[in-house]
Structure 1
Amino acid sequence: MSHFTHPQFPEDFLRPDDRSPLEGIDESFVFDFDTYADELGPGQRWSRWEDLEALMRGPEPRPDWVVVSSGAVDTELGVLKTGKEADVFLVEREDPHTPGSAVIMAAKRYRDTDHRTFHRAAAYTEGRSMKRSRDERALTRKSTWGKQVAAGEWAISEWNALRRCWELGLPVPYPVQIDETELMMEWITVTVDGEVDTAPRVAQVRPDPAVVEGYYEQLRDALGTMVQAGIVHGDLSPYNTLAAGDRLVIIDLPQVVDLVGNPRGMDFLLRDCANMCAWFRSRGLQVDEHELFGELMAHAF
């Protein structure tokens, strides 16, 4: 711990032999602060949380585990998974002066050459409109966030979708921050034999019948909430839903579409229902995508 005093007081004034270094100094000129390392190790970088605009940070109230210290360090831990348009890495963020603050997050990074040309992009973006007045204001001000919105990047689309779904109370990872083409979000995990690991995709698990039924109820509730909000995942399948113990978590949201504004919105919804119902039937639960679709549409309007 160090302290700083106002430069108007010369050293010989502050340090006479017979008095304390701070004696006679107005306390408003003295404050404590922590010093941090001048250099970082391999695979490390300073957290950019303090440099980001409000719209580039996760919604409030934030979970307690989110590290917002300006002195926090991000440490690269390795690749979690690779994809066609983006790769996901594990990154640990910790404030060196706050023991126990370390948290591991998933960092999804869209490739520079691909994030503007998402497969089947035209089908997903048709009818997409600027619904958030804050985005419109950012465009007008030409702020950093406004420039990212104007670029039309898929990273922005996923960030907006994650924020909106989290605010709706949907089972999605908490979105921590977006910085250019990198999204940092909650790392969804499971604990097996005392070891923490990444939650598997639903397609990879064969849970007990009671868990399968629970997953279906969660899926139906989540789809119902999305439909009532006028949005559709658009690419939902057992490969972009995670089995976090008894909890179902939806991921990969860059292609979220407007149910009504997109001419194919209902087609995408039916396909989402079909993809998921096929998995549930393969696990012994007799469900029908058309019945689920009809139930959802009955609550959509």
Structure 2
Amino acid sequence: MSHLHTDHTFPEDFLRPDDRSPLEGIDESFVFTYDTYSDELGEGQRWSRWEDLEALMKGPEPRPDWVVTSSGAIDTELGVLKTGKEADVFLLEREDPHRPETAVVMAAKRYRDTDHRSFHRAASYTEGRSMKRSRDNRALKRKSTWGRQVAAGEWAVSEWNALRRCWELGLPVPYPVQIDETEILMEWITVTVDGSTETAPRVAQVRPERSVVEGYYEQLRDAMATLAQAGLVHGDLSPYNTLAAGDRLVIIDLPQMVDLVGNPRGMDFLLRDCANMCAWFRSRGLEVDEQELFGELMAHAF
């Protein structure tokens, strides 16, 4: 009968396990670290819902480096930025407590529950509107969270889609970070004044030098031409919903964007946009004509 020999000889490392690091000899690809977060939030704070949102509810890729996507980030209310007829805009800071250097302040546009389905002059803007985005159609069929928001016909959804489309076209609009029900988080457009960061003023509020005015007009014309080529019209463009971010012109407030051809009044809206903006440029000493601009844009559209 054979006997089991128990007098094994083990490597020296196994005889003195306390001398070894717990991770020594382990493939680094199997090692990960994690941060723990407090369960407590302060007043005016909430957890970021970034990880809970579907892909269509997040901004287009590639995303700017400043977008905070950490699942442990905290959103902190900083106060009201602007009030409007259908929505109010707040400032909100998103910060990962373990990476405070990445904190970012964003604009949070919140449509009021009683108004977001009854936007003023809604019928004239929605007439002829079609669901051109195939991804929205797929979301509707899947009855996903995004699909339910699209089906509700909210104006927040309309603005979100417009912001995404404009950003993808390379237009000067705030980067759309996320949409969650009737709230849109987007880039906060700022200027630096005496070393401090402030909200960029509306174009109607500024009196820039002529060279800056000329630059604004070139940017406006290019942006409107790009929209026209895409078959789109802002629909409510004016010096009150364009921002003067230093030498840069930024277009905001897009929920009423219309189809240039699909909407029976698409060309009327385009001419009105031209008239509203040209009136401001003339008041700043620039000789521009809305009919000439309109004709130029129509040439881009067809």
| TM-score normalised by length of structure 1 | 0.92
| C-alpha separation in 1, matches of 2:38 and 2:285 | 56
* SS of aligned partner of 1:99: strand
> One-letter code of the match for 2:201?
P
- For the residue of structure 1 that corresponds to 2:185, the secondary structure is strand
Aligned to 1:37: 38
Return the offset for 1:23: 7.9
Secondary structure of the residue that 1:78 maps to in structure 2?
strand
The structure-2 alpha-carbon separation of the partners of 1:279 and 1:40, relative to structure 1 and needing over 3 Å to count, comes to: same
Tell me the distance in 1 between the aligned counterparts of 2:30 and 2:218: 60
1:248 maps to: 249
Instruction: Write the distance in 2 (CA, Å) between the matches of 1:59 and 1:136.
Output: 18
Structure 2 Cα separation of the partners of residues 69 and 276 of structure 1: 40
2:71 is matched with 70
Map of 1:197 onto structure 2: 198
1:205 partner letter: V
User: Is residue 209 of structure 1 aligned with residue 210 of structure 2?
Assistant: yes
How many residues end up aligned between the 2 structures? 286
Gaps of 5+ in 2: 1-15
Deviation readout 1:2-30 (Å, 9 max, x if unpaired): xxxxxxxxxxxxxx996779489977886
Q: Does 1:168 align with 2:172?
A: no
**Structure 2 residue 102 is the aligned partner of structure 1 residue 93:** no
Confirm whether residue 271 of structure 1 aligns to residue 272 of structure 2.
yes
Q: Which amino acid aligns with 1:39?
A: E
Match of 2:103 in 1: 102
Bigger radius of gyration among the two = 2
Secondary structure of 1:123 counterpart: helix
Q: Which residue of 2 aligns with 1:9?
A: none
Question: Deviation of residue 189 (structure 1)?
Answer: 0.2
2:187 matched to which residue of 1? 186
Residue 12 of structure 2 corresponds to which residue in structure 1? none
Aligned counterpart, 1:226: 227
Matched, 1:262 2:258: no
Residue 249 of structure 1 and its aligned partner are, at CA, apart by: 0.2
CA spacing shift, 1:148–1:17, aligned 2, 3 Å: same
Residue aligning to 2:11: none
Give the aligned partner of residue 121 of structure 1.
122
Moved over 2 A (4+): 16-32
Determine helix, strand or coil for the equivalent of 2:100.
Answer: coil
Q: Deviations over 1:29-58 (max 9, x none)?
A: 864211101101111111000000000000
**Structure 1, gaps ≥5 residues long:** 1-15
Distance (Å, rounded) in 1 between the aligned partners of 2:259 and 2:23: 67
- Other structure's SS at 1:102 match: strand
Counterpart amino acid of 1:255?
Q
- Give 3-state SS (helix, strand or coil) of 1:88's partner: strand
Specify the code of the residue in structure 1 equivalent to 2:249. L
* CA shift for structure 1 position 99: 3.1
Please give the alpha-carbon distance, in whole angstroms, between the structure 1 residues aligned to 2:24 and 2:284: 77
Give the root-mean-square deviation of aligned CA atoms.
1.7
| Cα offsets for 1:40-77 (capped at 9, x unmatched) | 11111110000000000000000000000001110000
Residue equivalent to 1:284: 285
Match of 1:11 in 2: none
